[in-house]
Amino acid sequence: MKNRGIFSQEEYRSRIRKTKEQMDRQGIELLLVSDPANMNYLTGYDGWSFYVHQGVVVSLDADRPLWFGRQQDSNGARLTTWLTDEDIFGYPDEYVQSRYTHTMRWASDLLRQKGWDAKRFAVEMDGYWFSARMYLTLAEELSHARLMDGTNLVNWVRAVKSPAEIAVMREAARICEKVMNTAVDGISVGTPEKEVAARVCAAQIAGTAEFGGSSPAIFPIMPSAERTSTAHLTFDPERRYQQNDVVLLELCGARHRYHAPLSRTVYLGEPPADFRSTAEGVVRGLKQTLRRIGPGVTAEEVERHWREAIAKSGVVKPSRVGYSYGLNYVPDWGEHTISLRPGDQTVLAPGMTLHFMPGIWLDTYGFECSEPVLVTEDGCEKFIEFPQQLFLK
Amino acid sequence: MKNRGIFSQEEYRSRIRKTKEQMDRQGIELLLVSDPANMNYLTGYDGWSFYVHQGVVVSLDADRPLWFGRQQDSNGARLTTWLTDEDIFGYPDEYVQSRYTHTMRWASDLLRQKGWDAKRFAVEMDGYWFSARMYLTLAEELSHARLMDGTNLVNWVRAVKSPAEIAVMREAARICEKVMNTAVDGISVGTPEKEVAARVCAAQIAGTAEFGGSSPAIFPIMPSAERTSTAHLTFDPERRYQQNDVVLLELCGARHRYHAPLSRTVYLGEPPADFRSTAEGVVRGLKQTLRRIGPGVTAEEVERHWREAIAKSGVVKPSRVGYSYGLNYVPDWGEHTISLRPGDQTVLAPGMTLHFMPGIWLDTYGFECSEPVLVTEDGCEKFIEFPQQLFLK
């Protein structure tokens, strides 16, 4: 049967081994993984069920992790994971968004049943998928456990990609090229913004002739005009593109939930001199900085190279200029590990994948030109070949 | 300037008043709202920035709420909310996903500055957007505050929709009709599943000739064949539809983040007798139950009517059969308040909007046929007119 995980069982087992190694190093005996990307990474599980409580539990003393979730999703775990039926536990529907009980009571019973209720037990404390109430309920139920913080533990294991993952990310990059082409080609004076956005969404799923895409972790961000003065607005469903519009495109392709993000900027007409010079400064800085990304360089050094590269251009970019990315679900394709900014001492290593993203949002407009790259043995390699420029239409 | 909130300032002020009334009733002086739908509901804020910490703070003693978020998103708050510049607070980028500090330390400073650090202070404890770490950090910082649980407080205010909201939800329903038509029309033996999914995604955004859509809170759920035996899988990016496939369609239209969900089922070929009889039983039960939904009926009574209506058909549906829905962001268009299931004593009232969703997932296939409805003065009204049947192709 296909789709029992996208990767080989060896790949999943190696991920579990690396996770256990990190757990052991941090004195963690038991780890509850509730982030859907981490669940997918360890087991292959792939369903839009993360709006209810669910998780994967990794125990140092168990060969395979266990999956738990809503009963009606347990067939989904059977169909998409490499786990056996005895590793899959469904809870009754009365726990879903209940005002009277809590899923973590049921989960605590499960842990007791497995003899795992007095462990050094880490949870993803700062994740979207581990609420304060989940924590307080587990703390109340498992008085013999020592609750610890396992935020981003699996995310850090994910930071270095395997060759099989890189192959999937190259497929995502092929989709992303089509998506970005669709957007740049589609934007013109008089065209409804929603029409271009609709074509972009279709391109993300249709993928290439050879393979299809998957739903993006961030919905297409494609603001125009004054809406480009900030980071996370999108198209206006009522508006048509107008002469002298700036349009920011922060898009992606996704394949089996692995992403290829890319940002570009379009100007409709003849851009003002200051805008053109901002664009040129950013593109020049981008090109120079890419030459400095490689193994042994730290994340903060990359940001410093960027700052030095743009020092003379007058461009000021006060936020981080990139981050680690890969497998993900909404709301973010970033992995919440490596950030290219002052203070991040992560030493880059082959197999890491970074979105170098020097976005500029000034008071009246913005400019973005980014590159997703793979750190290689002796530098870095772009995932995507797409002209690094301001697109004039 | 347009887009400073979709609704009138009076509408937003009335929402704040109702929220304060609920706060007062529960002895809450200060409320931190981190759910992006609740933030939008109270202020109009609409950006894909909820992957970092942000919030709206409602104080009983303040006329307007305050918005805080990442500095680079504060222009987004200026462009999309009815708040004034002095209500908008941006934090520096170094707080984003930091390993050394936490956004809630910055937020605590802000509350101290406002003199709000010793209040009876409720947070959305069981929300996706309020992590255990956020709670523990606030508890550490605000030792004079009394932290309380405000989970779903605003969601309950949202349960009864205003006429202006219902008008937007009717627009979402028009989009949903187009979306479902696109899917049912597109499915045929030999067509790649990804192609139909791509068309569905485009239809969600293109909307109607008069207005555009917005990104859905749940990505199109459209599994085929054995993947219909569970609740939350979607299309297979490599597969083409085959003779004798069952295809489940759990889709929506969305307008300004307000949803219109709808489920239907397609069969390619001549369905087996047991499948046909399941479908007929569900549709008959659906029709009978809709006649019983109205003001004064409790949520659990609706479920009981459904159970009675299908008792003779042999269909067993052990999970809840519906829920309140409306304004939302990923990962769920449900509002986490009213559930149509045993034990839910909510008395239905005019203006409530429910997705009556009797999905059946058996071991080898599933069947879904749902209706989004508005509770009226004397019954309920379907938002969408779409044939209630198993679609044979």
Residue A337 structure tokens: 């590990």
**Helices B299-310, B273-290: crossing angle, 10 deg rounding:** 140
CATH 3.40.350.10 in chain B: give the residue spans.
Answer: 9-158
ipTM value, please give it. Answer: 0.97
Contact B134 A132 (CB under 8 A): yes
Q: Which residue of A has its CA nearest to B341?
A: A94
Write down the pLDDT at residue A2: 40
Contact A205 B214 (CB under 8 A): no
3-class SS at B77? helix
Determine which helix (DSSP H) or strand (DSSP E) holds B278, and give its type and residue range.
helix B273-290
Write down the pLDDT at residue B360: 82
Q: Which residue of B has its CA nearest to A195?
A: B206
Assess contact for B332 and A96: CB atoms under 8 A.
Answer: no
3-state secondary structure B161-222: CCHHHHHHHHHHHHHHHHHHHHHHHHCCCCCEHHHHHHHHHHHHHHCCCCCCCCCCCCCCEC
List of chain A residues whose C-beta atoms are within 8 Å of the C-beta of residue B366: none
Pairing assessment for the beta strands B390-392 and B30-33 based on DSSP bridges: unpaired
Residue A289 structure tokens: 């900085």
Q: Which residue of B has its CA nearest to A128?
A: B128
B346 DSSP assignment? P
| Option in B79, B149, B232 nearest A47 (CB) | B232
pLDDT, tens digit, 9 for 90 and up, residues B36-76 = 999 999 999 999 999 999 999 999 999 999 999 999 999 99
Q: How far is A322 from chain B (nearest CA, A)?
A: 12
Contact B201 A201 (CB under 8 A): yes
pLDDT, tens digit, 9 for 90 and up, residues B193-238 = 999 999 999 999 999 999 999 999 999 999 999 898 888 999 999 9
pLDDT, tens digit, 9 for 90 and up, residues A88-131 = 999 999 999 999 999 999 999 999 999 999 999 999 999 999 99
| Option in B93, B132, B342 nearest A130 (CB) | B132
Contact A79 B341 (CB under 8 A): no
Contact B47 A232 (CB under 8 A): yes
Write down the pLDDT at residue A230: 85
Assess contact for B353 and B161: CB atoms under 8 A.
Answer: yes
Contact A236 B363 (CB under 8 A): no
Contact A48 B213 (CB under 8 A): no
Assess contact for A353 and A323: CB atoms under 8 A.
Answer: no
Assess contact for A40 and A46: CB atoms under 8 A.
Answer: yes
List of chain B residues whose C-beta atoms are within 8 Å of the C-beta of residue A134: 126, 132
Write down the pLDDT at residue B313: 81
Within 10 Å of residue B363's Cβ, how many Cβ atoms? 9
List of chain A residues whose C-beta atoms are within 8 Å of the C-beta of residue B205: 194, 197-198, 201
Look at the domain B9-158 and name its fold.
Answer: Creatine Amidinohydrolase; Chain A, domain 1 (3.40.350)
Assess contact for A51 and B129: CB atoms under 8 A.
Answer: no
Cα distance between residue A68 and residue A33, in whole Å: 10
3-state secondary structure chain A: CCCCCCCCHHHHHHHHHHHHHHHHHCCCCEEEECCHHHHHHHHCCCCCCCCCCCEEEEECCCCCCEEEEEHHHHHHHHHHCCCCHHHEEEECHHHCCCCCCCHHHHHHHHHHHCCCCCCEEEECCCCCCCEHHHHHHHHHHCCCCEEEECCCHHHHHHCECCHHHHHHHHHHHHHHHHHHHHHHHHCCCCCEHHHHHHHHHHHHHHCCCCCCCCCCCCCCECCEHHHHHCCCCCCCCCCECCCCCEEEEEEEEEECCEEEEEEEEEECCCCCHHHHHHHHHHHHHHHHHHCCCCCCCEHHHHHHHHHHHHHHHCCCCCCCCEEEECECCCCCCEEEEEECCCCCCCECCCCEEEEECCCEECCCCEECCCEEEEECCCCEEECCCCCCCEEEC
Residue A356 structure tokens: 């170098």
Residue B273 structure tokens: 């007798």
CATH 3.90.230.10 in chain B: give the residue spans.
Answer: 163-392
**Helices B193-206, A193-206: crossing angle, 10 deg rounding:** 160
Contact B71 A319 (CB under 8 A): yes
Q: How far is B31 from chain A (nearest CA, A)?
A: 15
| Option in B73, B128, B201 nearest A231 (CB) | B73
Residue B164 structure tokens: 């202006």
Terminal Cα-to-Cα distance of chain B (whole angstroms)? 49
B282 DSSP assignment? H
Write down the pLDDT at residue A362: 76
Q: Which residue of A has its CA nearest to B199?
A: A202
Contact A213 B343 (CB under 8 A): no
Contact B201 A204 (CB under 8 A): yes
List of chain B residues whose C-beta atoms are within 8 Å of the C-beta of residue A241: none
CATH classification (class only), A163-392: alpha beta
Residue B268 structure tokens: 């390619």
Q: What angle do CA B190, B196, B198 make, to 5 degrees?
A: 135
Cα distance between residue A40 and residue A80, in whole Å: 9
Q: How far is A128 from chain B (nearest CA, A)?
A: 5
Residue A58 structure tokens: 């990794």
Q: Which residue of B has its CA nearest to A97?
A: B336
Write down the pLDDT at residue B319: 76
Closest by alpha carbon to B261, among B385, B370, B390, B386? Answer: B370
Q: How far is B316 from chain A (nearest CA, A)?
A: 13
Determine which helix (DSSP H) or strand (DSSP E) holds B299, and give its type and residue range.
helix B299-310
Q: Which residue of B has its CA nearest to A233?
A: B47
Q: How far is B196 from chain A (nearest CA, A)?
A: 9
Q: How far is A341 from chain B (nearest CA, A)?
A: 8
Contact B128 A123 (CB under 8 A): no
Which amino acid, B77? A
Residues in Cβ contact with B238 at an 8 Å cutoff, skipping those fewer than 6 apart: A211, A212
Across chain A, mean pLDDT equals 96
Write down the pLDDT at residue B2: 40
Query: In chain A, which stretches have pLDDT less than 50?
Result: 1-3
B328 DSSP assignment? -
List of chain B residues whose C-beta atoms are within 8 Å of the C-beta of residue A343: 94, 100
Query: In chain B, which stretches have pLDDT less than 50?
Result: 1-3
List of chain A residues whose C-beta atoms are within 8 Å of the C-beta of residue B226: 79
3-class SS at B95? helix
Write down the pLDDT at residue B3: 45
Contact B207 A319 (CB under 8 A): no
pTM of the entire predicted model: 0.98
Give the count of Cβ contacts less than 8 A between chain A and B. 250
pLDDT, tens digit, 9 for 90 and up, residues A319-339 = 799 999 999 999 999 999 999
Contact A93 B336 (CB under 8 A): no
Cα distance between residue B89 and residue B67, in whole Å: 6
